Structure 1
Amino acid sequence: MSRSIPLGIDFGTSNSTVGWSRPGHPALLPLEEGKVTLPSVVFFHAEDAHVSYGRAGLADYLAGHEGRLMRSLKSLLGTAMIDDHTEVAGRALPFRQLLAQFIGELKCRAESAAGQGCTQAVLGRPVFFVDDDARADRQAEATLAEIAHSVGLKDIAFQYEPIAAAFDYESRITGEELVLVVDIGGGTSDFALVRLGPGRAGKADRRSDILASGGVHIGGTDFDKYLSLATVMPWMGLGSRQLNGLEVPSAQYFNLATWHTINMAYTRKAWTHITDMARAAAEKDKLQRLQRLVSERAGHWLAMQAEAAKIALSDASSTVLDLGRVSPGEQLSITRDDLNAAIDHLVNSIGTTVMALLNDAGVAAAQVDTVFFTGGSSGVPLLRERIASLLGNPRAVEGDRFGSIGAGLALDAARQFGE
């Protein structure tokens, strides 16, 4: 590796990409088995201390290997948990070190694919790591910068993820457009209202073209969470009653429905709590399912079932979850109406954020030429319908749901650092 190249790094809640902008080549670099996405997953094997990443990590977990699965790592940024640790193979692993391990792997794979080293990068970031807390938001960015420096990235810049997606879209248009970028990622929903066009693309300073940006800490993992709480968790006792008539405590269900807190349900304290819940439950069969799920450490498996159902319901009116790992032969039918009811409050918050963005920019909804959708959860029908109704059905353009941000960050890296 003879020289350093500027990279665009999209460290995502669910998936990550790395881009290198050069004429005549695809921007995104292959990171795993020829694929340009690397799921943001780390699996620590218990038996031999081996660590696997991405699809390989998920496959090892699903194959039943003993170990610890960690997913939704980005969600730790901006929370008190980032300064905490988790237990892996009997030792304490700081969460900062966990993020450094994954980002270091991401950098290493990108360098291998490019055949060049990298010390310069533009990193994507949500418009807000943390809602309504500017200090915590600045600290989250500073933490990510410290982690990036620790893995060998010397020169770092940040770019809002929806702005990066706008740059990717701009590389393919032939005329001027006022574009609303709607980026629904795993952990956040981010928006940018940007004037784009071939004549603007070469400008070093694009600040005057960015009319407004905004976001809310709601993303695809929140859709998964509330679909699970509305459908799967009641099957294991959420909302049921105890023998004394009180409702079964809900804390462990929320832990199991939230990607980055699933492992909290596996502690000795949590198991004692669940055992007490089962002893006091009026519907003991439901709590026995919860006990089996936790004893087998199948929480991530169940979260994957909820995620798969959400994805299936983007195209179909109903789907079936196979719950055989917890209760042999059992299935659960879930409809799009179930999904819509579960996430309606989240979609309302997203819609409110979009309208506030337009209001801040002094732009009427009818003035928006194009809505550019990107992010893994941007295909949820209720979300699309709500955005269309708020804006009066402007032209909708489908971006690369998992690649637009990384490609745009690569363009920005070439502009900022030169290539």
Structure 2
Amino acid sequence: MAACGLDFGTSNTTLGRWQDGAPRLLRLEGGHVTIPSAIFFAPGREAVIGRAAMSAYVEGVPGRLMRSLKSVLGSSLLEETTPVGRERVRFRDVIGRYLAGVKARAEAEAGKSFDTVVHGRPVHFIDDDPEGDRKAEDALRGIAESIGFRHVSFQYEPIAAALDYEQGIAREELALIADIGGGTSDFSIVRLSPERHSRADRAGDILANDGVRIGGTDFDRMLSLGTVMPLLGLGSPMRRGDLAVPNAYFHDLATWSSINRLYNSKTLREIEETRRDASRPELLGRLHAVVEGERGHSLAMEVEGAKIATSERGGARLDLGWIEGGLAAEIDRDGLVRHTGDLARRIAERIGRCLGQAGVGADAIDALFLTGGSTGLPHVRAALTTCLPQARVAEGDTFGSVGTGLTLEAARRAA
């Protein structure tokens, strides 16, 4: 029975196996152990995944890009269909095709087939909805079984990150694990030590788990709505009355998992009708151009890149000249905080809930372990560390800690 650990993330995916007495993440795309959670369908061709999918879209190959696939789990979108060439494909099956591709690459790299998987999952797929949460896990289990996994189990992603972190500590610690990913923010309070690491049953060491459906793609969305979408007409007035332009188009265009909803003739007609009645028709003309050219993902990629650049360097300029000559948006760190600061605050609030669930105070936490790409946002990091001022801050592999921990868990369960 060959076992693996699979971290299917909103932005990136990893898969690992136990080899030579240690967990090892497998190379899934070239020399990379991470592969973007993206798939591209081109008419008459096999679907491509990962960086190749993103490149095909950017290079203008005709077809349909889908990214942030995990976001539809727990939503009504999972059972809906989307047009792919001349057929309509369920989002559930799109996820299956993507994960089947990941599994095949991992098996080629490992030289063996995997029939057992420990799948990572967020603490909550959906906030405050236990039944929806159960359905999301059941759906992911069904998808895993449909692509050839015979034995499927799950582990919370922050617990998996804790297992990775525990490999490197020298003494017992009470750690709060913060996994701030692309789609969710998840927290666990876990008692860790070199001695406890070898135990098969760790249930007694887990004091609390909590999470919220907020992640990096939500920061992209709010930044886009605040800085880019007004250039396409969001918030602008209609000619008659005191109404503003309908905002649904802009929210879909700013949300990774909803962009493809716009790519149809009905939406284009509606936008054109709105443009004729708008006080600023030139702005709606820009929106029409983006949707007609199916360039929504290009826009989302540029916003994501600007978010990262602003976090790292303090500012960024989005050159939108491909929409209209000379069009651009400027973003600085103050603007990033202004548009997304509430998200950071809501994420940090979960630390208080975790402490309450564990029955400990902030001063009892020895270490705050940060993983996930969105921990790179300075105001998110500041919000988290402010909650635990006495805790030592430790960082893991931003995109690999969860996958490594899941691989450890897979080896333990298969033993």
Q: TM-score, normalised by structure 1?
A: 0.97
1:251 corresponds to: 248
Verify: 1:89 aligned to 2:85, yes or no: yes
Deviation, structure 1 residue 89: 0.4
2:355 corresponds to: 358
In 2, distance between residues paired with 1:403 and 1:394? Answer: 23
Verify: 1:139 aligned to 2:135, yes or no: yes
The aligned amino acid for 1:327 is E
Verify: 1:154 aligned to 2:150, yes or no: yes
**SS of 2:373 mapped into structure 1:** coil
1:217 corresponds to: 213
State the Cα RMSD in Å: 1.1
In 2, distance between residues paired with 1:410 and 1:197? Answer: 19
Deviation, structure 1 residue 24: 6.0
Verify: 1:347 aligned to 2:344, yes or no: yes
Deviation, structure 1 residue 331: 2.1
Question: How is 1:374-413 mapped onto 2 (pairs within 5 angstroms)?
Answer: 374-413=371-410
1:182 touches 1:373 (CA, 8 Å); kept in 2? yes
Q: Name the count of aligned residue pairs.
A: 414
2:414 corresponds to: 417
In 2, distance between residues paired with 1:324 and 1:73? Answer: 29
The aligned amino acid for 2:193 is G
The aligned amino acid for 2:150 is K
Verify: 1:194 aligned to 2:226, yes or no: no
1:180 touches 1:192 (CA, 8 Å); kept in 2? yes
In 1, distance between residues paired with 2:288 and 2:407? Answer: 47
The aligned amino acid for 1:39 is P
Question: How is 1:280-295 mapped onto 2 (pairs within 5 angstroms)?
Answer: 280-295=277-292
Question: How is 1:223-238 mapped onto 2 (pairs within 5 angstroms)?
Answer: 223-238=219-234
The aligned amino acid for 2:222 is Y
**SS of 1:247 mapped into structure 2:** coil
In 1, distance between residues paired with 2:358 and 2:169? Answer: 23
In 2, distance between residues paired with 1:147 and 1:310? Answer: 32
Deviation, structure 1 residue 238: 0.5
The one-character-per-residue Cα deviations of 1:44-74 (angstroms, maximum 9, x if unpaired) are 012x233111000000000001000011111
Deviation, structure 1 residue 92: 1.1
Verify: 1:68 aligned to 2:59, yes or no: no
In 2, distance between residues paired with 1:348 and 1:169? Answer: 25
**Residues 178/325 of structure 1: CA separation in 2 closer, same or farther (3 Å cut):** same
The aligned amino acid for 2:225 is L
In 1, distance between residues paired with 2:307 and 2:366? Answer: 29
Verify: 1:117 aligned to 2:113, yes or no: yes
Deviation, structure 1 residue 393: 4.6
**SS of 1:264 mapped into structure 2:** helix
1:131 touches 1:216 (CA, 8 Å); kept in 2? yes
2:28 touches 2:34 (CA, 8 Å); kept in 1? yes
**SS of 1:130 mapped into structure 2:** coil
In 1, distance between residues paired with 2:321 and 2:86? Answer: 30
The aligned amino acid for 2:235 is G
1:49 touches 1:89 (CA, 8 Å); kept in 2? no
Q: Percent identity?
A: 47
Q: Which ranges of structure 1 fall in alignment gaps of 5 or more residues?
A: none
| Deviation larger for 370-379 or 386-395 | 386-395
The aligned amino acid for 1:214 is D
Deviation, structure 1 residue 286: 1.3
1:16 corresponds to: 13
2:55 corresponds to: 59
2:178 touches 2:188 (CA, 8 Å); kept in 1? yes
Q: Which ranges of structure 2 fall in alignment gaps of 5 or more residues?
A: none
Question: How is 1:2-41 mapped onto 2 (pairs within 5 angstroms)?
Answer: 4-23=1-20, 27-41=24-38
In 1, distance between residues paired with 2:170 and 2:110? Answer: 30
The aligned amino acid for 1:340 is V
In 1, distance between residues paired with 2:57 and 2:255? Answer: 18
Deviation, structure 1 residue 407: 0.4
Deviation, structure 1 residue 21: 2.2
In 1, distance between residues paired with 2:139 and 2:368? Answer: 32
In 1, distance between residues paired with 2:14 and 2:90? Answer: 24
The one-character-per-residue Cα deviations of 1:196-234 (angstroms, maximum 9, x if unpaired) are 110000111101111101000000000000000000001
1:21 touches 1:407 (CA, 8 Å); kept in 2? no
